[in-house]
Amino acid sequence: MSKYEPLKRHLLRETADEVPMTFRDLEAILGFSLPPSARKHPPWWSNNVGTHVNAAAWREAGWKTARVDVAGERVTFVRDRAQEATPAHHGVSEDGAPFSWDRLSLSARRMVDDCMEETGLDRGGAVAALLEAQAAARRRQMLREMPVARMPVGHDSTELIREDRER
């Protein structure tokens, strides 16, 4: 995991199309000081990922730097709409329907981001983990609501759930 991951998570949560920040704002998000080269050399803020882990963080989140004022220690991140149209930001469901990250509410995106942070999974893995957790909770709830007396010997709970759904 990159040390710039907190910036990536922050930008993934942003709802605005443009986010101006001071270098101090960035350092507060990151939890460490920017390297001296960020304060001296505008190319440090380039959107060219290459071997620059800093640029990879904002580019992977679907953002790019637009206005960099090294002397004033300010940078503006803008949402990269062209990048959002790439497969990394869209998926296809089992029935072939497109899925877009933008269709999720801000709170749902935060849940996914939190899961990514807690588990180290990528976005798709975090979404899958959250859905599996919800499915397990739903199964537990169904079993709690099922009368014990109705459970025939030799039947498992899965069969009873199927029977209940068919009724």
Structure confidence by residue, pLDDT tens digits, 84-138: 544 444 444 444 445 566 677 777 777 877 777 777 777 777 787 888 888 888 8
The reply to whether 11 falls in a domain is: yes
Tokens of 49: 């990922």
The answer to whether residues 21 and 68 belong to one domain is yes
In the prediction, which pLDDT does 154 show?
A: 61
The reply to whether 79 falls in a domain is: yes
Burial per residue of 90-117, b for 16 or more beta-carbon CB atoms within 10 angstroms, e otherwise = eeeeeeeeeeebeeeeeeebeebbebbe
- pLDDT tens for 30-72 read 999 999 999 999 999 998 877 688 998 999 899 999 999 999 9
The reply to whether 117 falls in a domain is: yes
In the prediction, which pLDDT does 94 show?
A: 45
The answer to whether residues 67 and 115 belong to one domain is no
Q: How many domains is the chain partitioned into structurally? A: 2
Q: Let me know: does 161 contact 139? Beta carbons within 8 Å.
A: yes
The answer to whether residues 72 and 120 belong to one domain is no
Confidence of residue 19 (pLDDT cuts 50, 70, 90): very high
Confidence of residue 17 (pLDDT cuts 50, 70, 90): very high
The answer to whether residues 69 and 122 belong to one domain is no
For residue 46, the cross-strand partners are none
The answer to whether residues 44 and 79 belong to one domain is yes
For 13-53, the DSSP string reads H--SSEEEEEHHHHHHHHTSPPPHHHHH-GGGG-S--TT-H
Q: Let me know: does 26 contact 39? Beta carbons within 8 Å.
A: no
In the prediction, which pLDDT does 143 show?
A: 75
The amino acid at residue 92 is V
The answer to whether residues 16 and 78 belong to one domain is yes
> Is the pLDDT score of 151 beyond 60?
no
d(CA 13, CA 19) in angstroms, rounded, equals 12
The answer to whether residues 66 and 109 belong to one domain is no
Q: How far is CA 61 from the centre of its chain?
A: 8
The reply to whether 72 falls in a domain is: yes
What is the pTM for the complete model shown? 0.51
For residue 30, the cross-strand partners are none
The answer to whether residues 19 and 57 belong to one domain is yes
Which residue is associated with the tokens 């071997």?
51
Which residue is associated with the tokens 């899958």?
128
Range of the domain at 141: 104-148+156-166
> Is the pLDDT score of 8 beyond 50?
yes
The answer to whether residues 9 and 80 belong to one domain is yes
The reply to whether 89 falls in a domain is: no
